[in-house]
Structure 1
Amino acid sequence: MAISGCLVDGGFGRIKKLFKRSDCESLSQFADIVDKSARNNFPVLYRNENNDQTWKWYDWKSYLTRYFLQVKGIQKYHCFRFSAADKSAVFVKKRTDSEQIRVPLIRRNTEVLTTTFPEVIQPAGLEVVHGANIYTVTLENICVLHTKMPRARHTLKSDSRCMRTD
């Protein structure tokens, strides 16, 4: 039996399908849509109803670069093998019939600490310029929708660019 597509894409597809048929005006309504879209889909919100953080962002990149090396040219390799006998390296091949190359992963004279965690990254939020850009783009899209509606009177109090009075 052949499986086509990707299960992750299928999950997003189910969310998209239900979202198109739903009235969604808040984050909690969107979370309900995700939850109802499929048995395997469930929302994971950064903040809950009480505005408490439900999970944290960790600075994994700087933490891992202290202990591990980059695999140079990783995109040209297609076969990877890890060995319990040599835990400090990965064995790579460009093709299945090509020669295996040992690539070191752990930096020299480095002991990987498994008892520490990386630093927590605090979300920065939107910059004022970016927030203003989102407002402008959203307003332009609302104006387009309003001007396409027949025989309607529309005014947006906050901006005169979108006034329509038939």
Structure 2
Amino acid sequence: MSKQKCFSSSESVHTFDYIINTNLHGSRCNTAQLVADQDGGTIVPTYDWIGFLVPHFRKLIGIKKGHHFRVHSSQPGVVFMKQRADEATEVEHSLLKEGFDPGEFPEIIEPDGLSAQRQWYLHDKIREFCPDAAKDLTCPLPMVPKPTSRAVTLVPLSPPSVSSSPAPKRKRVCGSCKEPGHNTRTCPTQMST
């Protein structure tokens, strides 16, 4: 419903605030939530969960085969796995390595933001299509120097061989005597036998 309300109106979408306000008034079950603001400030931080968990846990071998998993608070770090619900036996996997402190927390990953090339693209190519009120929000003048444009040259994996003259045509030869000028049906050696 929010998509219909947002995109069926004659008004265009140019800012995140417009999407949030349209969505909040248009739907009760779909609520948009920004994870960052227009100025680049983080509202919902992103954490380095992979870098945090890899030293403390083992990989679960055969996880794609398992369809039923069970964990219990009395055995932290242990996962019980079955391939089918009707299997009688569960396979126990100990995932937790020694030395894990549950009070630790992963590091926050700071977003990189838009590259200089993308910022300048938005400013140079897209800004003209935005209404005046949204130009400085959606496509502001970048604070980074404009990157120099370099022509992208695609290099083939195996460069073609360059020859000055075209390859000579292969001459046809007889299937019986391997001599040029005739075929097996008109071969002189076949006719003489």
Question: How far apart are 1:57 and its partner, in Å?
Answer: 1.3
State the one-letter code of the partner of 1:58.
Answer: Y
SS in 2 for 1:90: strand
Residue 16 of structure 2 corresponds to 27
Note if 1:102 corresponds to 2:92.
Answer: yes
The C-alpha deviation readout for 1:53-105, integer Å capped at 9, x for no partner, is 32211111111122122212212111111123322211001111233111112
Q: How does 1:1-40 map to 2 (within 5 A)?
A: 14-22=1-9, 23=11, 24-40=13-29
CA distance in 1, matches of 2:59, 2:102: 19
Name the stretch that deviates more: 70-79 or 45-54: 45-54
User: Highest Rg: 1 or 2?
Assistant: 2
Quick check: which one's helix share is greater? 1
SS in 2 for 1:28: helix
Q: Structure 2 unaligned runs (5+)? A: 130-193
Note if 1:66 corresponds to 2:55.
Answer: yes
SS in 1 for 2:74: coil
Q: 1:19 to 1:63 in 2, by over 3 A?
A: same
Residue pair 2:48, 2:107 contacting (<8 A) in 1 also: yes
Measured on the aligned residues, the alpha-carbon RMSD in Å equals: 3.0
Runs of 4+ in 1 over 6 A off after TM superposition: 132-139
Q: 1:105 to 1:129 in 2, by over 3 A?
A: same
Residue pair 2:66, 2:84 contacting (<8 A) in 1 also: yes
Q: 1:86 to 1:115 in 2, by over 3 A?
A: closer
CA distance in 2, matches of 1:69, 1:137: 48
SS in 1 for 2:92: strand
- Percentage of matched positions with identical amino acids: 23
CA distance in 2, matches of 1:63, 1:105: 14
Residue 162 of structure 1 corresponds to none
In the superposition, the TM-score normalised over structure 2's length comes to 0.53
Note if 1:44 corresponds to 2:33.
Answer: yes
Among 83, 93, 105, the alignment partner of 2:72 is: 83
Note if 1:120 corresponds to 2:113.
Answer: no
The C-alpha deviation readout for 1:104-157, integer Å capped at 9, x for no partner, is 1201x223x232321111111222445577789979xx8xxxxxxxxxxxxxxx
State the one-letter code of the partner of 1:118.
Answer: P
CA distance in 2, matches of 1:55, 1:86: 32
CA distance in 2, matches of 1:135, 1:69: 47
SS in 1 for 2:21: helix
